[in-house]
Amino acid sequence: MSLLDRHRAVMPTWMPVYYGEDALEIVSGSGRRVTDATGRTYLDFFGGVLTTMIGYDIAEISDAVRSQIGTGVAHTSTLYLIRQQVELAEKIARISGIPDARVFFTNSGTEANESALLMATNVRRSNQVLAIKNSYHGRTFGTMAITGHRSWSSSSLSPLSVNWLASADRLRGRMAGLGDTDLIDAAVDDLREVLATVTAGDVAALIAEPIQGVGGFVHGPDGLLGAYRKVLDESGILLIADEVQTGWGRTGDHFWGYQAHDVVPDLITFAKGIGNGYALGGVIGRAEVMNAVPAISFATFGGNPISTAAGNAVLDYVLDHDLQGNAKRVGTILLDGLRALDTSIVAAVRGRGLMIGLEFVRPGTTEPDPAVTARVFDLCRQNGLLVGKGGLYGNVIRIGPALTLTEAEARDGLAILSEAVMTADTEIRTL
């Protein structure tokens, strides 16, 4: 039996696996490249869904983890003091931009958001939350309830009361075709309308991704979250920035995605890249909010010695090598190259830094085309490039490589992706 057949025989049907019958088994990696079980090497433009943020087999990170393993202690308990956990929390608090910040470590982004919801609902004594359509925040009852993306919403059993704001999708819906100022005005009107008409009494928080990740890298103009914030402040509603995909310099212009918005959130959630593959997430927030949980709360593995050894090495690497600057430089090459493509099957090239999305449509329309997206996705793989898919309609190619991506690698990947787009463009015209 093939590994795919064994996977299918033992795992539930709803687990997504890329490339269908040609599912990929990666057995090793180096830098920005991975090798599969047949010995074929790929340039990785998806980085384990924006998680292998520094790259594969990076000495500084492997050494930090090995050195912790060398102590004989992979884990005891977070009930004891863990030096590297405290050190990492200190560093993260310092760069968070939040005054008087506290940090709580978790094992995933889902758990980070679940914890942020726990804090926000407790401090506000309200179970009402506002979320943005097309969002993804996780897979538990609480986080699924604030996930506005039907592919990922399998349950309505959450104890939260959630109301929805329009996403900043400029291709369709309420924000279609709007310029920056009009979009911000429309978003603020939408927020005011939702608060005045469908919420009941106090709302605990608004949660937003500065750039929607799973949703296909949809983002509003700079300043949008700040404009929301002015309205939220009128009634003390908290702002939670989900930086699981946008944090640590990925967006190039800023260290945190929220910094494009002239605002400081009350809570920031993070995960993915900070562990470079070792499971690490968490929440950062103002002490007053973070301390509001009335009972004790504890995560067996949250901030464990291995993951926080990795986390320190990752954060030091990001800062010492100015990976934010690299994301900006190399991301600009990709953005410029993709925007220059002469095709009408791409309706938008979005994003910033090393977080770039291409939205595919029927030529000359805004009708989503998931089939052509899948074709581009497969052609990239055939030609040695791994990319991601996403978007509400499955019609966005997502690029989120390691922030160490070199210019040469960017140009190699850009050539493969451009050729895939142009091949799909020709095919659709000759059908």
Positions that interact with ligand PMP (CB under 6 A): 49, 108-110, 113, 136-138, 209, 213-214, 242, 244-245, 271, 281
What SS3 class is residue 168?
Answer: coil
Tell the smallest beta-carbon distance from residue 152 to ligand PMP (Å): 9
Tell the smallest beta-carbon distance from residue 272 to ligand PMP (Å): 6
Strand runs labelled E in 160-288 = 161-165, 205-208, 238-242, 267-270, 281-286
Q: Cβ closer to ligand PMP: 297 or 426?
A: 297
Q: 89 CB contacts (<8 Å, ≥6 apart)? A: 103, 105, 303
Q: Whose CA is closest to 215, among 78, 107, 350?
A: 350
Q: Cβ closer to ligand PMP: 263 or 361?
A: 263
Helix (H) or strand (E) holding 36: strand 33-36
Sequential DSSP letters for 129-156: EEEEBT----SSHHHHHT-B-GGG----
Q: Cβ closer to ligand PMP: 268 or 416?
A: 268
Q: 184 CB contacts (<8 Å, ≥6 apart)? A: 220, 221, 223, 224, 227
Q: Cβ closer to ligand PMP: 169 or 209?
A: 209
Tell the smallest beta-carbon distance from residue 51 to ligand PMP (Å): 8
Tell the smallest beta-carbon distance from residue 135 to ligand PMP (Å): 8
Tell the smallest beta-carbon distance from residue 138 to ligand PMP (Å): 4
C-alpha 98/C-alpha 178 separation (Å) is 32
Q: Cβ closer to ligand PMP: 146 or 420?
A: 146
Q: Cβ closer to ligand PMP: 109 or 249?
A: 109
Strand runs labelled E in 192-319 = 205-208, 238-242, 267-270, 281-286
Tell the smallest beta-carbon distance from residue 395 to ligand PMP (Å): 18
Tell the smallest beta-carbon distance from residue 425 to ligand PMP (Å): 29
C-alpha 325/C-alpha 407 separation (Å) is 13
Q: Cβ closer to ligand PMP: 110 or 121?
A: 110
Q: Are strands 161-165 and 128-132 parallel, antiparallel or unpaired?
A: parallel
Provide the phi-psi class of 347: left if phi over 0, else alpha when psi is between -120 and 50, else beta. alpha
Tell the smallest beta-carbon distance from residue 372 to ligand PMP (Å): 24
Tell the smallest beta-carbon distance from residue 254 to ligand PMP (Å): 16
**Residue with the CB atom nearest ligand PMP in the bound state:** 109
Q: Whose CA is closest to 103, among 306, 318, 289, 314?
A: 289
Strand runs labelled E in 271-360 = 281-286, 346-352, 355-360
Q: Cβ closer to ligand PMP: 213 or 302?
A: 213
Which tokens in the block code for residue 238? 């908290």
Q: Cβ closer to ligand PMP: 97 or 142?
A: 142
